[in-house]
Amino acid sequence: MDNSSQNIYIKTLPSGIKFAFKRSLSPVAYCTLNIRSGTRHEPEELPGTAHFAEHMLFKGTSKHCQREINNRLERLGGELNAFTTKEETVVHATTLKEDIGKSADLLFEIVLSSTFPEKELIKERSVIIDEINMYKDSPAEKIYDDFEELLFGNHPLSRSILGDAKSLKKISTTDLRDYAKSRFTPSALCFTAVADMEPEIVAKMVEKAISRHFDGSVKSKTSQQVNSSNRSSLDIGEIFHKEISRRNHQAHCIIGSSAYSLYDKNRLALLLLCNMLGGPSSNSRLNQRLRERSALVYAVESSYTQYSDTGTFAIYFGCDKGDVEKCLSLTDKEIGFFRDGRLSEAQLSSAKKQLLGQHAISSDNGEVQALSMGKSLLSYGNVMPDSEIIRLIKEITTEDIRSVAYEVLAPERLSTLIYR
């Protein structure tokens, strides 16, 4: 498949993995290997396994030790990195375009032939425990984990990505090997690249790299998990109002709810609403009301995270402990502006232009393009053209915004978590 409208080439390789490529004019090449292997897929009794496995991918394979892995691309001026979310693990590399074959070789090697050596596991466990402790010292970050833990209850999405020190001490080399064997399979992999090369040439490099681990006879049962029902996905999550006493200078607060999934037709309207309410720009309504006009907060933001079967919408702010109630009241007024359908056509048009501009600017980065294609390919089995994204955003109406605000941000659905 060749998506010529934005120069995207998509192919299913003989091993069964999906491959997507976008041509660029840069001498730099970007590669990503996305794996359907996140926090929700790990053993319930061993939280933190997915993230621990990601860390250990760099610690040794059947062919190379940790030092050799780190040197493979760095001696060429390249970079190798990875991250874990609640639904996927992503390993990605940046090199000069002439070294893209080396990137593909290394990404498949560390994902498909890591040995998870015991000696390195002991050291890395200590590193991750330090990471957990450091995270605890950042209430503005930790409050998001606590919010989703309360919201999702016993659902796998409630787990912290990092796990905890107690569970990490239980995870063994055998546990990591078993986990990788069950999750790191062709049916769970997608490879994307952005480079100034012919797509067929890069596809052959990728096929050659993966053939060292699979003989081509392994076929993917399915390369995506598509939910076409368009259900609202609002049925996952509990309502709560909780305050936790913490010895912080500031109070920290989250107001939010469960929201639309990756496959819901309303997701772009909610994304636009999120951007208007508390997006990254200083002209967002919450920033203008709580910071610029009232000087009550240093930071305020809204976020919308999409999962395969649900999502979360959250508004966060940090303020003086005595100003929490005033900030909550002002936040409710801003939410009410959208719930009550007071958004004008002119305001909507301006908001669309802003969101489309943000999208275009972020998409001008090759690494962002590769990561975005990988997420889309793993989730949908395809990559939506920019022209289609633009069309869908332009078609959003003021009634669409009112409807999603009324449904997702209804007062009876909103939960609050406060550190004070």
Residues in the chain: 420
DSSP SS3 for 36: coil
User: According to the model, what pLDDT value does residue 235 have?
Assistant: 65
Whole-number pLDDT of residue 26: 95
Distance CA 164, CA 187 (A): 30
Predicted local confidence at residue 133, as pLDDT: 94
pLDDT at res. 233: 59
With a cut of 80, say whether residue 6 has pLDDT above it. Answer: no
Calpha distance 232→210 (Å, rounded): 38
Sort 27 into a burial class: Cβ within 10 Å, 0-12 / 13-18 / 19+. Answer: exposed
pLDDT of residue 15: 85
pLDDT digits (tens, 9 = 90+) for 225-272: 444 444 445 667 789 999 999 888 899 999 999 999 999 999 999 999
- pLDDT at residue 277 tops 60: yes
Q: 171-223 pLDDT, tens per residue?
A: 999 999 999 999 999 889 999 999 999 999 999 999 999 998 876 554 444 33
Domain architecture of the chain: domains with CATH: 2-211 (3.30.830.10), 241-419 (3.30.830.10)
Residues near 91 by beta carbon (within 8 Å), at least 6 away in sequence: 32, 33, 35, 54, 57, 80, 81, 82, 107, 110, 111
pLDDT exceeds cutoff 70 at 280 = yes
- Tell me which amino acid residue 221 is: K
Whole-number Å distance between alpha carbons of 152 and 142? 16
Mean pLDDT of 313-341: 97
Could you report the per-residue pLDDT of 89-136, keeping only the tens digit for each?
999 999 999 999 999 999 999 999 999 999 999 999 999 999 999 998
- Tokens representing 50? 């997915």
DSSP 101-130: HHHHHHHHHHHHSB---HHHHHHHHHHHHH
Those residues whose C-beta lies under 8 Å from the C-beta of residue 372, and which sit 6 or more positions away, are 363
pLDDT in tens, 369-401: 999 999 999 999 999 988 999 999 999 999 999
State residue 188's pLDDT score. Answer: 94
**What is the pLDDT averaged over residues 338-344?**
97
What pLDDT sits at residue 7? 81
% of the chain surpassing 70 pLDDT: 93
| Side-chain half-sphere CA neighbours of 348 within 13 A | 19
Looking at every residue in the chain, the average pLDDT score rounds to 92
Closest CA to 319 of 254, 273, 275: 254
The pLDDT, as a whole number, for residue 60 is: 95
In 45-154, which residue ranges form alpha helices assigned H by DSSP?
49-56, 66-74, 100-112, 118-136, 139-152
